[in-house]
């Protein structure tokens, strides 16, 4: 499944939820499905901003990925664990968007992916932007990270759906 197909799947599955289900928080410290959607969309846009930043660079970066970054790309995605960000990076995502708003924002992600899909491999692979945990990533790596991140949240999405199914 391509990243565009994966995002389309997220979009189609949005239609399964009522507004109450979308916004329902099952426990303290656990996101609603809507918050999870907000998070993956915001992160995708940030990663695509970094693709754009790599494309605009004029100076090569000799540094590369961290050890965990190398491992991450070697296995082709996030490890199958829950990742807790430091508190300063862990502001809860918005829980206010409705289904139409989230769907429109997913369309924006898809549009940006389409814009870069055919151009990303033409960007000098030594033009890099630093990721806080993975090290220096080039445009292709940032682009691929969008898909990896959406895939990583499929398990969380499934868990949240299971919880709302048994609540309603």
Cβ contact 49:113 at 8 Å? no
91 against 5, higher pLDDT = 5
Average pLDDT score over the chain: 91
Does position 157 have pLDDT exceeding 80, yes or no? yes
pTM of the full predicted structure?
0.92
How do residues 92-140 score in pLDDT, each as one tens digit?
A: 788 999 999 999 999 999 999 999 999 999 999 999 999 999 999 999 9
* Strand extents, DSSP E, the chain: 128-131, 135-138
In angstroms, the Cα distances linking 100 to 7, 24, 49, 86, 142 are: 15, 17, 24, 31, 27
Task: List, in order of start, the domains of the chain with CATH numbers.
Answer: 3-167 (1.20.120.450)
Residues 62, 116: Cα–Cα separation, whole Å = 23
pLDDT of residue 85: 62
150 SS3 class: helix
How do residues 41-50 score in pLDDT, each as one tens digit?
A: 999 999 999 9
How do residues 132-156 score in pLDDT, each as one tens digit?
A: 999 999 999 999 999 999 999 998 8
Name the pLDDT band for 77 (thresholds 50, 70, 90). confident
Does position 87 have pLDDT exceeding 70, yes or no? no
- Residue from 142, 140, 118, 138 nearest 128 by CA: 138
């Amino acid at each position: 499944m391509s990243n565009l197909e994966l995002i389309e799947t997220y979009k189609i599955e949005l239609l399964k939820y009522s507004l109450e289900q979308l916004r329902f928080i099952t426990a303290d410290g656990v996101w609603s499905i809507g918050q999870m959607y907000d998070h993956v969309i915001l992160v995708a846009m940030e990663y695509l901003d970094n693709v754009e930043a790599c494309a605009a660079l004029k100076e090569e970066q000799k540094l590369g990925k961290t050890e965990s970054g190398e491992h991450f790309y070697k296995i082709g995605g996030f490890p199958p664990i829950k990742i807790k960000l430091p508190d300063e990076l862990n502001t809860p995502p918005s829980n206010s968007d409705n289904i139409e708003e989230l769907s429109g924002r997913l369309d924006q992600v898809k549009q940006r992916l389409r814009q870069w899909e055919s151009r990303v491999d033409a960007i000098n692979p030594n033009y890099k932007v630093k990721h806080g945990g993975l090290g220096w990533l080039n445009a292709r790596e940032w682009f691929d990270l969008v898909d990896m991140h959406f895939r990583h949240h499929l398990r969380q999405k499934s868990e949240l759906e299971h919880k709302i199914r048994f609540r309603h």
